[in-house]
Structure 1
Amino acid sequence: VMAFKYFECNNVDLAIIEVGLGGRLDSTNVITPVLSIITNISFDHQDLLGDSLTLIAKEKAGIIKKETPILIGKKSPHTHVFEEKAQNLQAPIFYSKQAPYKSDLKGDYQVNNINTSATAIKILNNLDYKISKNHIINGLNHIIKNTGLRGRWEVISKEPLVICDVAHNIGAFNYIVSELNISKLNKHIILGFSRDKDFKSILKILPKDYQYYICGSLNERIINPNELSSYFDNYNLSYKIFDLSYNAYTDLVSKSNKNDLIMITGSTFIVSDILKYLDNIE
């Protein structure tokens, strides 16, 4: 409510409202938008949204409004859920198309985000908004500066190569592992998980030739790393345990060189702990 009031007081032309959880029952769903966007579907918050992608898609479909355009960022076998809901509500449905832009946020997975953003702007322009190509280029090239958004394939050191990414569900980790496997460097993964995440599914896809550093956090939502050790043993993953991510980071960096790649991931809190630590010592 405070955010909506702030936007009203500042007379914004467009407000981008991110759903907090799912869609159908989310508190942000009180608005009547000019455009709804569903970026993708992945397993997350199964305890609240359902234990299948079809059920999760139905929850996300809750933001589709009568006669209001809906944009789908990425097609999947479950897209039919959105199509059926859109048809019932006479909502024009669109799918993101390839766009010739780049962003200052790195990682190949940003391509999907860029395509979705550019397609959304095209839809808005057809609704009499006036967002130019230069606006798009300028915005995409200054996301970090304009938003303060960090931890999206953020390179914080080049030798050794250190990357932060807030991936925290199976879909995001599939992207992470795919990109890391391209590199010939020795991989060291500093990670921790929030209690509400399906970390077991993530552990199943983690490569066995990486080295893992399981960490806790000052945030109580992060699982105590000692509780995770047996799961890492079950999947034959090599690991060390640290109380905090920045303890793992300082220990690892002191022993690393140009042949190593350090990835910090698993939770927004784990990445945040590292970034705050680095900001304080600079």
Structure 2
Amino acid sequence: MKAEYHAALDWLYSFVDYEAGQRPRDESRYDLRRVKLFLERLGNPHLKARTVHIAGSKGKGSTAAMIFAVLREAGYKTGLYTSPHLIETYERFKIGDHFIGEDEFIVEVQKLKPIVAEINDQARYGELTTFEIMTVLAFDYFANNKVDWQVIEVGLGGRLDATNVVEPNLSIITTINLEHTDVLGDTIKEIASEKAGIIKAGVPVVSAPQGEDATGVIRSTCHKIASPLRVASIEAMTRSSFNGGFQMFNILGRHNIYDIKLPLLGTYQRINCAVAVAALEALIDQGVEGITKETVERGLSRTDWPGRFQVIDRGPLVIVDGAHNPASSMELVNSLDAFLDADMMPHPAVLVIAASADKDVTGMAEVLAPVFDEFVVTRTRHPRGMDVKILGRAFEELGRKVNYTSTTAEALVFASQLAGSEGLVCVTGSLFAVGEALEIRPNRAAG
């Protein structure tokens, strides 16, 4: 890796990075006027491509990856901007088959540096943050490469997120639940209001099925600004089967019945897939050419989105999944039941878990403790990692014996020894833990 690339990364992370530390609730910390000013200096690159903008509490990255894959299959040069990354920063910026290269990243940083310095020196609207600079970098990278479409995942919330400067062709809101309450609000209504902040006047909206409170907020927002709303249907889906590294089921859309062959094995991906299909059919309704039953099916079958209920080894069976709250933990358990055919759970079943400091680990433990035989608690390298004693106590209070380790690598070695060749190791609790597991043990179970 080039020294210049390391220097570019060091510069990027030298600014305020709310992903690494406490996120403030103070709205003034998220002033989009400085992002707009930055983009104006670059000729507004965010407006150069057609855009799909995606917010939500769960599944927005998976949904983004699916739509990206289908737009590519339909013949469009497509960019994908997501967060956080699993292992390396460059994973956030993708065009077609390729992540941004080191040389491209260096060129972008050298271009942005003087503009960032000027804006921050003036500080008219506060200083730019790491995520804001990353977001502008993504837009400029896509514009320079003349993408036809850009699929943009919201970082946090929606209304005040740095990505919310786009003028989208379609807005999507995936499943909403309680998350980041220190920033977004303490109720589903408050959080839904932040997510609904991406809705633009007259721009079509596709939503996952939501609870009553979230549905009310989204419908009200769409009604006020005349944005057509379509809620993805999940009733007309067949049961999943699993074969050859794929999850297979059928979705009844408005235009077609789709035979889905998805390389994402978590059963929770069914809802994300239904949202993606509804979104793609909304683009068909807008006259976007090339999106057909065939390109939808082929694109979905080629979706690449690692770290979400992914089998990375066998003997023992090792599954990684970025479940980071009680609802996601329950979806992990349901996915294990479906994938392993309910009563075929390998034993010993060993849970490796790390979490960020702001997570509801008591609720997660209540879901996960009854399912596993052994528990290995660890901490990731991430600055917001939770202290192992606090995390472990959540399981000990439920009467479980906890094994403590200081790194993900140590935890994986120890868990594999506990599981033996016939058991199961499941790594979860945060995407950071999953990323470290993938870094340590590259996928040896592909196909």
Given the two structures, how large is their TM-score scaled by the length of structure 2?
Answer: 0.59
Structure 1 counterpart of 2:413, from 250, 253, 267: 250
Take 2:417 and 2:363, find their aligned partners in 1: how far apart are those partners?
31
User: What does residue range 148-227 of structure 1 map to in structure 2 within 5 Å?
Assistant: 149-181=305-337, 182=342, 183-186=344-347, 187-208=349-370, 210=372, 211-227=374-390
Q: 1:70 aligned to 2:205?
A: yes
Structure 1: distance between partners of 2:410 and 2:370 = 23
Q: Is the 8 A contact 1:38 1:60 kept in 2?
A: yes
CA distance in 2 between partners of 1:207 and 1:267 (Å): 17
One-letter code aligned to 2:409: Y
1:256 Cα deviation after fit: 2.5
| Residue equivalent to 1:84 | 220
> What is the rounded CA distance, in whole Å, between the counterparts of 2:438 and 2:346 in structure 1?
23
Match of 2:171 among 26, 32, 36: 36
The amino acid that maps onto 2:330 is N
Shift of 1:136: 1.6
CA distance in 2, matches of 1:36, 1:201: 31
Give, in whole Å, the separation in 1 of the partners of 2:139 and 2:418.
49
Q: Does the CA contact (< 8 Å) of 1:43 and 1:171 recur in 2?
A: no
CA drift of 1:85 comes to: 0.8
Question: How many positions carry a matched residue from both structures?
Answer: 277
Query: Deviation at 1:252?
Result: 2.2
Distance (whole Å) between structure 2 residues aligned to residue 44 and residue 236 of structure 1: 27
Cα distance per residue 1:142-185 (max 9 Å; x no partner): 222xxxx3111110123222101111122211201223353433
Q: Which runs of 5+ in 2 are unaligned?
A: 1-135, 235-250, 252-257
The 2-side partners of 1:58 and 1:204 are apart by 29
Counterpart residue number, 1:108 = 267
Contact 1:208 1:237 in 2 (8 A): no
Structure 1 distance, partners of 2:261, 2:190, is: 33
- The alpha-carbon distance between structure 1 residues 171 and 229, as it changes in their structure 2 partners (threshold 3 A), is closer
Distance 1:52 1:257, change over 3 A: same
* Offset from partner CA, 1:38-95 (integer Å, 9 cap, x none): 0111121110011111211111111111111111112322211101111111110001
Counterpart in the other structure of 1:122: 281
Q: What amino acid maps onto 1:271 in structure 2? A: V
Secondary structure, in 3 states, of the residue corresponding to 1:17?
strand
For the aligned residue pairs, the C-alpha RMSD in angstroms reads: 2.0
1:223 partner amino acid: M
Amino acid at match of 1:256: A
Cα distance in 2 between the residues matched to 1:218 and 1:254: 23
% identical aligned pairs: 32
Distance 2:325 2:261 in 1: 25
Question: Residues 73 and 116 of structure 1 are in contact (CA less than 8 Å); yes or no, is this contact kept in structure 2?
Answer: yes
Whether the aligned pair in 2 keeps the contact of 1:102 and 1:114 (CA below 8 Å) is no
Does the 8 Å contact 2:200/2:227 carry over to 1? Answer: yes
2:180 is aligned to 45
Q: Aligned partners of 1:4, 1:229: CA distance in 2, in Å?
A: 41
How much has 1:258 moved relative to structure 2?
A: 5.4
State the Cα distance separating 1:280 from its structure 2 match: 11
Counterpart of 2:299 in structure 1 is 139
Deviation at 1:190, TM superposition (A): 0.3
Contact 2:355/2:391, CA 8 A, preserved across alignment: no
- Match of 1:20, SS state, is coil
**Matches of 1:12 and 1:171, distance apart in 2:** 36
- Deviation, structure 1 residue 247: 1.1
CA distance in 2, matches of 1:134, 1:208: 42
Q: C-alpha displacement at 1:139, in angstroms? A: 1.7
Aligned to 1:93: 229
- Give the counterpart letter for 2:152 in structure 1: I
Contact kept in structure 1, 2:361 and 2:391, CA below 8 Å = no
Cα gap change, 1:235 to 1:54, in 2 (>3 Å): farther
2:437 alignment partner in structure 1: 274
Contact 1:44 1:198 in 2 (8 A): no
CA distance in structure 2 between the aligned counterparts of 1:280 and 1:247, rounded to whole angstroms: 18
Deviates more, 1:30-39 or 1:199-208: 199-208
Q: What TM-score does the superposition give when structure 1 sets the normalisation length?
A: 0.91
1:188–1:212 Cα contact (<8 Å) kept: yes
SS for the counterpart of 1:27 is coil
Q: Which structure: larger Rg?
A: 2
